[in-house]
Structure 1
Amino acid sequence: MTGHYSNPVLAADWSDPDAIRVGDDFYLTASSFGRAPGLPLLHSRDLVHWEIIGHALERLEPAEAFAVPRHDCGVWAPSLRHHDGRFWIFWGDPDHGIYRISAPEITGPWSPPLLLKAGKGLIDPCPLWTEDGRAYLVHGWARSRSGIKNRLTGHRMSPDATELLDAGTVIVDGDALPGWFTLEGPKLYRRDGWFWIFAPAGSVETGWQGAFRSRDFFGPYEERIVLAQGSTDVNGPHQGAWVDAPDGSDWFLHFQQRGAFGRILHLQPMTWDGDGWPVLGSGGEPVAGHRLPVPGGPATAPARDDDFPGGAFGVQWSWLANPAPGWTEPHDGAGLRLACRRTADAHDLRLLPAVLAQRLPVGPVTVEVELALDSTEPGAKAGLAVLGDAFGWIGLERGPDGAVSLVHRFAEQVSTRERDAARPYPAPGGTARLRIEVTAHARCRFSAVVDEPRASGPEFAATPWRWVGAQLALFATAPEGDGPAGAAEFRNFRVT
C-alpha cells in the first residue's frame, strides 16, 4: 500500500543496530565484528529505505590482533550519536575494551580509535550528553571474557569524551529483577527530565526489549518490558535504536535473529502511555507493517551487485581481517582481480584473511558471478562461497596436470578440511559463470555454466558464523611456495 512499509526493512545481517536523525537525514551503524573495513554507515530519508554510504573504521585495532579472521571478536554493538557538531561512534571490543571515534561529517574523516576504557568483557557502550553540559557512559558485560553478565555499569565522562571520570557504578542489576537474564546492549537517552536506558534481555533468539527510567543517571531505575514476541512470528524482537522523525513521531529499530541470515531489522512505531512509558509496535508486539515515518522519500536499498570498475570493490564488501598490500591487483578495466594468495590453510576458507565478503540477504535470491582463473600454479583455485560455521563453494582449480576443473566443495561445522560435494568437471577455457540459488530457508543449490549449465552436488544448508550471519564470499588461493601465483578475475557480480 502506498505510504506504508512492510517488515523487515533491512533483510540481511545488520546486527545490533543504532540509528540517529540529524535534520532530515537518518544514519545507522551496526556490529561488524572482525571484518574490515568495519562500522558500516547507512543513510535513509524515511527510516525504511537505506543505502550503504561507507565505513567509519578502515582497520581494526590493535592491528596485529586482526591480521587473521576473528569473526566473533572486534566491533560489538556500536552506538552512533551526533553532539556538538560532530558524529560519534562508541563500541566495545570484548577482548580489549571500549573505543570511540568521531568525525565532523558522517563521511569522515574519522579520528583514530581512542581506547576510552581498557579491560576484558566491556561491551555495548553508549554515551549521553545532557542539556546542562554533563556527559555519561553506560556499558554492559560479556561473561565469556569477564565472568560478569546481566549488569549495566555507568560512568561520568568528560564532555570531550577523552576520559571516564570515575571507576564505574552498577546502575542496573539484572539479577535483582525477577525473571530478567542476559541484560545487555544499553542505549542511553533523555526525555522530559528522565534518564532512559533501552536495553534488551533474555538472549538473542528469544529475548525481549526492556526500558528503564530514573530521574538520576545513577538510579534507582524503574523497568518495564516494552516489546516481546507475543502472538507474532517475530522471535526475540529487541536491541536497537529509538529515533524520532521530523514530525515528532517516535520509532524503534531492532533486530530479529533469522538463522543463517543473521539479525535482520524491523521498524516499530512507538507511542507513550498515560504513565509516560513507551509502547512499541502494537501494544508491545511487533507489527508486520505500518505507515511510513516520512512519506515520499527515495526507494533506496543497500548495494549488492558489483561490476568492480577499475578493479575496485563496492562499499558492501569487507575483508575477513585487516587487509594487507597485494590482495587485489588494480587495473583500468572492469573486474576484480584477487591475487591467488599462497597459504597452508587453503583447505579451510574460515581461516583465510584475504576473503572478500558481503551479507547473505534473506532468500529466495540467486547469486551469480563470472570467474576466470589466471594462474598456471598447480593447486591454485578461486570461487564463490557461502561462508559460516559450515561453508560451501563452487569455482575453478588448476590440477597437477595443468588442466583447469570446475570444483564444488564444502566443510561441515565440525570439519577442519573441505571435501568434494561433486566430481570435478573439465573447464579447459579456465572460465565459468558461477551460480548459487538460496531459498527462503537458507538452502543453497550450486551450479555453473562452463560449456553448458551444470548443476553441482546436493543442497547445502547455510549456517550462521557464531554471532554473524552467513556471508557471500569471493576468494583466490594457491599452495605454499615462492613468488607470485597468478590471480583470479571476478566480473558481473549479481544478486537477484
Structure 2
Amino acid sequence: MADTFVNPVLGGDRPDPAVIKVGDEYWMTYSSFETAPGLLLYRSTDLVNWTYVTAALPEPIGSTFAVDIAEHDGRFFIYIPFIPAPWSELEAPAIFVIHADSMEGPWSEPIDLGIRWAIDPGHVVGEDGKRYLFVNGIRRIGLTDDGLATVGELEKVYDGWRYPDDWITEAYALEGPKLFWHDDWLYLVSAVGGTAGPPTGHMVIVARSRSVHGPWENAPNNPIARTTDPAQAWWSRGHATIVRGPGGDGWWMLSHGYENGYRTLGRQILLEEVTWTDDGWPVGATDIGGELAAPAGASPQRSAEPFHDDFSTLLLGERWAFHAPSPGEAERLRLDDGLVVAARGSSPADTSPLAVIVDAHSYEVEVDVELLGGAAEGGILLYFNDRLFCGMGIDGERMLSYSGGHVTHWREPAPAVRRLQLRLRNEEHIVTGWYREPGGEWMRHAIRYETSGYHANTMGDLQSLRPALYAAGEGELRFRDFRCRPLG
C-alpha cells in the first residue's frame, strides 16, 4: 500500500473529468474533442491508478465536450455535448445521451435530447424522484424517467458565485455543473474563471440547496479550489467532480489543470482530498503539488512506462486516436506487416493524423516509415492542431521539415528513398530529429525546434502537443515499430 501520491493521477491531455463510483470501482472519462474514438473509459479502485477499458464513442458526431456519467435503476448513461465541427452535420451545440447495461458497454448510439446551445450537462435525481440535467449557465431541464428524452424547456436556476473583480481570470464562464447529495443537502459544484488564460483563472465553486428546485446558497468559503499563485505547481484548476473515497471513507475531488511550465501537455487529471467544515461545506487543498496523502488502501502509484507498438493489433482508443476525423476514418487503416494507412489531404494540416497522448516532460518517439505507392508523403510529428505542428516526413524525393505548422525552406540532405526510420526527441520543449535507412547510422536533423509555445493560449484551441503519424497525398504508407519512451 502507498501512503502518498503525486499529481497528476492520469497524465497528459484529459480535460473535464467525469467520475462515477460503481460499487467498489470508479469509472472516469473526459472531453475527447475532435478525436476518434472518443470518450475513453478508465477504471480504478483507489482513485490513484487508472486503467483503460474501452471507448464509449467510436464515431463522434461532433467535437465532444465535457460529459457527465450517471447510474439510474441499474442502467448507465453518459450525457454528451457535441459541438459543430467542419466534418460534422451539426448546426449548433447539442446534447445527446448514450446508455448501457454496464460501464464496460456496449454503449448505444447517441440519442438526440433536442437541447441546443448548451454544454456541460450534469445529471441528478431530485428529492421528488425525477431526473434532471443541469447545463452551463446554470440552467436546468427535466428528463423522462428513462433519461432518454427531455421534459419542458431549459430554465435559469442559479446565478453563480461572483469572485472579486480584481482577480486575474480569463472570463467568468459559469460552467461544468456536477451535483451530488450529502446529508440531505444537494451540492452543486461548478467552475468559473475560464478554463485557460491566466494561471489563476479557473476555479471550483459550490452551492447547496435542500431541493433540486432551489433556492441555492453559496459556500462562504468559495472558491473551494483555485490556483492562487502562478508559482504553484498546477495552473487553472477547475471542472471538478467530488466523490466518496475508497471503502466509503472520506471525500475526494478530481479536477483538471495545466502543469506549471508544461501547458503543452494539456489539462491533466488532478486528485485532492476534500474536508468538510462544521457547517457542512466541502474544502479543497490550497496547493496540490508535491507528495500528498493517498486514499486509504491505495496501491503504489504507477509511473509512465515506455511502449512499443509493432502494429500486430490495432490499438485504437487504448493507444491511438484520429485528430479531426471524418466519419469512417478507421477505414483508412489496415494491418499488413505493420500499419498501412491510406493517404489523405495535401499536408499534415488536413490529413487527420493518428496521435498518442504523452504525459512526460521529456520523451522520445521513433517509427519506420515506408511509401507503398502513389504520390504519398508521410512521417512523424509533434502535433497540436491543423495550424501548429513540427516534425518531418518523406515523399520519396526529399525530406520535408515542418515547424510552426508550415513546411520549412530547409532542404535536409536526407537520402531520396521510399523507406526511412525517423526519431523525434522532446527534451523539455527542445525538439531534435534523427533519421536513418534501416540498419544504418542515425543522422541528426540539422534544425532543432523550441515548442514551449505550442499550447492552448497561443492558438486559442484547447488541445495538447502529441506525437502523431501522418499520411498525406495519394497512395498508402506503412508504419512499423512505433516506440515511445519517457526520458529522465
Q: Which residue of 2 aligns with 1:71?
A: none
Q: What is the Cα deviation at residue 422 of structure 1? A: 5.0
- TM-fit CA distance, 1:40: 1.0
Residue 318 in structure 1 maps to residue 306 in structure 2: no
Which structure 2 residue ranges, 5 or more long, are not aligned?
84-91, 166-170
Deviations 1:146-198 (A, max 9, x none): xxxxx200122222112222212211124877648211111111111111111
1:493 match: secondary structure? strand
- Residue type matched to 1:338 in 2? V
Q: Cα RMSD over matched residues? A: 2.5
State which of 257, 268, 271 in structure 1 corresponds to 2:272. 268
CA contact (8 A) 1:51 1:302 kept: no
Q: CA deviation at 1:131?
A: 6.1
**Number of residue pairs matched by the alignment:** 447
* Equivalent AA in structure 1 for residue 472 of structure 2: T
SS in 2 for 1:350: helix
How do residues 67-466 of structure 1 correspond to structure 2 at under 5 angstroms? 74-94=63-83, 95-120=92-117, 122-130=118-126, 133-140=129-136, 151-174=137-160, 179=165, 181-205=172-196, 206-223=201-218, 224-231=222-229, 232-245=232-245, 246-258=247-259, 259-281=263-285, 284-297=286-299, 305-314=307-316, 315-320=318-323, 321=325, 322-324=327-329, 326-331=331-336, 333=337, 335-341=338-344, 343=345, 346-347=346-347, 349-353=348-352, 355-375=353-373, 377-378=374-375, 380-388=376-384, 389-399=387-397, 405-412=398-405, 417-426=406-415, 428=417, 430-440=418-428, 442-450=429-437, 451-456=440-445, 457-461=447-451, 463-464=454-455, 466=461
Structure 1, residues 173-226: CA drift from partner, whole Å, max 9, x if none? 248776482111111111111111111111123221101111122322122210
- Shift of residue 438 of structure 1? 1.6
Which amino acid counterpart does residue 141 of structure 2 have in structure 1?
H
Structure 2 residue matching 1:423: 3-state secondary structure: coil
Specify the code of the residue in structure 2 equivalent to 1:351. D
Distance 2:402 2:18 in 1: 37
Letter paired with 2:120: D
Return the alpha-carbon distance in structure 2 between the equivalents of residues 410 and 127 of structure 1.
44
Paired letter, 1:253? L
Other structure's SS at 2:278 match: coil
Please, which runs of 5 or more residues in structure 1 have no aligned partner? Answer: 67-73, 141-150, 400-404, 480-484
SS at match of 2:349: helix
The residue type paired with residue 107 of structure 1 is E
Q: Distance in 2 between matches of 1:302 and 1:363?
A: 11
Could you tell me the percent identity over the aligned residues?
25
Does structure 2 retain, via aligned residues, the 8 Å contact 1:36–1:318? yes
Cα distance change, pair 174–279 in 1 and its aligned pair in 2 (3 A): closer
In structure 2, what is the Cα distance between the partners aligned to 1:225 and 1:12? 25
Q: Would the aligned equivalents of 1:268 and 1:287 in 2 still touch at CA under 8 Å?
A: no
Distance 2:25 2:435 in 1: 42
Match for 1:418: what amino acid? Answer: V
Tell me which amino acid in the other structure corresponds to 2:32.
Answer: S
Provide closer, same or farther for how the CA distance between residues 131 and 304 of structure 1 changes in structure 2, counting only shifts above 3 A.
farther
User: Is the alpha carbon distance of 1:171 and 1:301 closer, same or farther for their aligned partners in structure 2, counting shifts above 3 Å?
Assistant: farther
State the TM-score, normalizing by the size of structure 1: 0.83
Counterpart CA distance in 2 for 1:244 and 1:312 is 36
Q: In the alignment, residue 182 of structure 2 is paired with which amino acid?
A: R
Q: TM-score, normalised on structure 2?
A: 0.85
- The match for 2:168 is none
Q: 1:275 to 1:303 in 2, by over 3 A?
A: same
Paired with 1:302 and 1:27, the residues of 2 have a C-alpha distance of: 20
CA distance in 2, matches of 1:303, 1:171: 46
CA distance in 2, matches of 1:469, 1:41: 19
SS in 1 for 2:149: coil
**Quick one: distance in 2 between partners of 1:296 and 1:203?**
32
CA contact (8 A) 1:381 1:477 kept: yes
Distance 1:45 1:170, change over 3 A: same
Deviation at 1:458, TM superposition (A): 2.0
What is the alpha-carbon distance in structure 1 between the residues aligned to residue 328 and residue 50 of structure 2? 27
Q: Does the 8 Å CA contact 1:303/1:316 hold for their aligned counterparts? A: no
> 1:34 — aligned with what?
34
Asked whether the equivalents of residues 40 and 56 of structure 1 are also in contact (C-alpha less than 8 Å), the reply is: yes
- Deviations 1:76-112 (CA, angstroms, capped at 9, x unpaired): 1111122221221112124331111111122211011
| Preserved contact between residue 52 and residue 303 of structure 1 (Cα < 8 Å) | no
